[in-house]
Amino acid sequence: MESFTKLTAWKEGLSLVKQIYKLTKEFPPDERFGLTSQLRRASTSITANLAEGFSRVTPADKKYRYIICRSECTETQAHLLVSLELSLGKPEEIHRAIEQCHIVGKLLSGLIYSQERKTYIP
């Protein structure tokens, strides 16, 4: 594969980022440096670390970055659940974003697993 942008995980991660940005636009202004910032940073870290992992050479390096991606995905989900509990956004949009986190997380788990089966030969 020639580019990380061809990965389904990256495409779905980008979809999550878009959902997060749309959702957090509706958050109260006093959350700009709180959950809005946390959600945006965590979700964009998924795609950034995925791109970085894609460019790594060894399966172990790739796997490590993909694990970080999955952790960022879980962090995003946790922030979404807090947002839901605090009634900061439309519940249906938050639930949709949580479902997108599940989709991205499963794809990232697949990438992690795929790297576990590879052997690096320089």
Query: What's the confidence (pLDDT) of residue 120?
Result: 67
**Exposure letters 92-112 (e unless 16+ CB within 10 A, then b):** ebbeebbebbebbbebbeebb
pLDDT single digits (tens) 31-55: 888 999 999 999 999 999 999 999 9
CB atoms within 10 A of CB 47: 24
**Coil, strand or helix at 70:** helix
Q: What is the DSSP letter of 114?
A: H
Is it the case that residue 72 has pLDDT exceeding 80?
yes
Assessment of whether the complete model's pTM goes beyond 0.85:
yes
pLDDT single digits (tens) 77-86: 999 999 999 9
- Domains (range + CATH), the chain: 4-116 (1.20.1440.60)
| The one-letter amino acid at 104 | V
